[in-house]
Amino acid sequence: MNPHNRTSENQELKLSPNAKIVLEKRYQRKDRHGRTKETAADMFHRVASAIAREEAKYAGSPYSVEELEGLFYSLMTDFRFLPNSPTLMNAGTELGQLAACFVLSVGDSMEEIFDAVKYAALIHKSGGGTGFSFSRLRSKDSRVGSTGGVASGPISFLKIFNTATEQVKQGGTRRGANMGVLRVDHPDVLEFIRAKEREGQLNNFNLSVALTEEFMQAVEKDADYSLIAPDTGKEVKRLQAREVFQLLVQKAWESGDPGIVFIDRMNKDNPTPKQGEIESTNPCGEQPLLPFEACNLGSINVARFYDAAREEEFDWEGLKETIHLCVRFLDNVIDASIYPLEQIREKVHQNRKVGLGIMGWADLLYQLEIPYNSRRGLHLAEKLMDFFQQECWSASKTLAEERGPFPAYEDSVYFQKNLGPYRNATTTTIAPTGTLSIIAGCSSGIEPLYALSFVRQVMDGENLLEVNSIFEKALKKAECHSQGLMQEVAQAGSIQKMEHIPESIRGIFVTAMDIDPESHLKMQAAFQKYTDNAVSKTVNLPHSALQEDIYRIYWNAYEFGCKGVTVYRDGSKSEQVLSSGRSGERAAEDKKSVRTRERPEVVYGFTQKVKTGLGDLYLTVNEVDGQPFEVFATIGRSGRSITAKSEAIGRLVSLILRSGISVREVVHQLKGIGGEHPVFQKKGLLLSIPDAVAWVLEHRYLQDDKPAPDAGSLSRPACPECGQDLYFQEGCFLCQACGYTKCG
């Protein structure tokens, strides 16, 4: 595979239907009427030309601008490499902002706080995402010396940042995403951990608690630890570390937020400690940055280097050449980018951080017939990333010889250890590649595939079956491929229980939910071992996962050497994405996302009388196929307010049941809701009308107390743009059908 073989300009790019949709909708330039005015090939030429032009600044370059433009074009159109989305969108345009991730400082004064709000708005407008640490802000109710008043605390300002983000359209394509970080020793840490208890709160933020080594050691010893006032540096309180850790686990189980980052571990790898401490990361957690730093990222599709004709079936030399070309590309992006703030431009040029990573990892394992959750898979991950990191640093050293080292090189650990000189303070990051992997036609980042087959809705309501090409090829080779089987796989989501598929195929083609949490973490740790920055990876769990499972995941992430971890229990964010769609998308959301069943002409059921503190409740439950379909709640006591509330509960429960959500989930949400008039009776204590509804449903339908099945226990959140299923990976929801993403 030779990166010098340029794709013919006249040759039509080989794009999947999904890739065409994503490019046309989100990347190709449009005129003032919203009509696409460039082809996919035009877009890649625009990007290649803009980045190659920067080469003219350096007399020592071995390439001409024209030659390099051809090489960059070939890299992208062969889908061996793609830069981060802002580069594809904005290179060669008037906007010209090419970096994906930024971190801003939030100081402990009103001026600094609202400066940060303004700076974030400018970054979101230009197409970037932002990370913040709120750890410098004094705690809630502490004294403000200049006014004699009391501080409102980090969470109140976090809400202001969230509201501001909601008002700013990000680069004309989506609203901005943010990361909010608070240290575990901040006095308001408990409020921060609970900040997203209610779905829809802080919907433009991912949250992470920055865990220190001191805290983790206290967890291990079951000891307490200090909360430190950031404005005075004095201890204000002590908490039991395990209780705080357990609360983190509980909230992650409930909603996936907050995540955790090991802040001391990130600072241990800080290449320029003289410039300050790392306090936060970008929105998806894989890029630790100093305040006012930005980083431009890109990913190599390692599946493109599979070569069955080779002894190792992998083209290591081709990968080496591609890595060197990609590091040059990303270094040029630093010069080509127009930054939204002068402080950011100065910091970026001072350290010149880049983050080259990979995508297509699961596809490569499929090609090599190596199970993701195997020792062979872990061994190859370490071997690949070790090679990758070494060649990235080699490429950076070559650029330093041509162009000089990054200006802050003498402040770096590389200078102190006599390791350089290098052109870039960091070179490797494993970033999310959701939409990029759709364009490249490969698996995302280092994630396992979420589904081997899925149904995509196209125009006029027609459904198109999408199947992983490597999986389909394996089935045809085994002579067991059929259209019916593909439909079955799309419905099931996993092939592990399909005994009519050969065991050898089932062992190789595992998907995210087939993989145990420890294997997810070990894969993340294998890549982290040879990554300068951090690794974007989600540990996917079934809906039935317990809090104890997440406790083990968090602790293992610490012991395995990860810099942070994201956990997602299937269905735990079912409402959040639906409630955060843009107003213009509400009609599509109402039509496609809530797939309610039609009511039959005749239904049968029962009416049960239940004594409550507000009077006798008459609950009518009508069934379809032996399961509750609709509920009518009538209260015997007069009073419009109580009657209205009872009717509202019945209507909402009916809508939920018709939408396919399980009885168990309805009971889980209603059971235990308190009221002002609880009442004792032979059935036990009934707290309220909702609690009474839960009691009837539970005792009628859940007496066997069987665990709810993982599949179908909750409706998977639907894409607000096309109505297809959303999958949670790398810190974001992603629609495989149209490329819609939602972080936070």
286 is catalytic: yes
The answer to whether the bond into 421 is cis (omega within 30° of 0) is yes
Residue tagged active-site, from 55, 286, 665, 721? 286
CA pseudo-torsion sign 621, 623, 628, 629: negative
**What token pair was written down for 709?**
């099945």
Q: How many CB atoms lie within 10 A of CB 576?
A: 21
Following CA atoms 516, 520, 525, 531 in sequence, which dihedral angle do they give, to the nearest 10 degrees?
Answer: 170
What residues contact 269, with CB distance under 8 A and at least 6 apart? 288, 532, 533, 563
Q: Any bridge partners for residue 732, and if so which?
A: 729, 743
Between the alpha carbon of residue 726 and those of residues 676, 720, 736, the distances in Å are: 39, 9, 7
Percent composition of the chain: helix, strand, coil (DSSP 3-state, to 5): 40, 20, 40
Strands 235-240 and 224-228: antiparallel
**What token pair was written down for 176?**
């901005």
406, 327 Cβ separation under 8 angstroms: no
Helix (H, G, I), strand (E, B) or coil at 132: strand
AA letter at 420: G
CA pseudo-torsion sign 404, 407, 410, 413: negative
Residues making up the chain, counted from first to last: 744
3-class SS letters over 325-370:
HHHHHHHHHHHHCCCCCHHHHHHHHHHCCEEEEEECHHHHHHHHCC
Structure letter (DSSP) for residue 27? I
**What token pair was written down for 557?**
């992430």
538, 447 Cβ separation under 8 angstroms: yes
**What token pair was written down for 34?**
């919203």
Residue tagged active-site, from 178, 204, 270, 282? 282
Cα separation, 315 vs 321, in Å, equals: 10
Cα separation, 492 vs 474, in Å, equals: 19
CA pseudo-torsion sign 438, 440, 445, 448: positive
Q: Radius of gyration (Cα) for the chain, nearest Å?
A: 27
Q: How many CB atoms lie within 10 A of CB 269?
A: 16
Residue tagged active-site, from 69, 90, 162, 284? 284
3-class SS letters over 313-327:
CECHHHHHHHHHHHH
282 is catalytic: yes
Residues with a catalytic annotation lie at 282, 284, 286
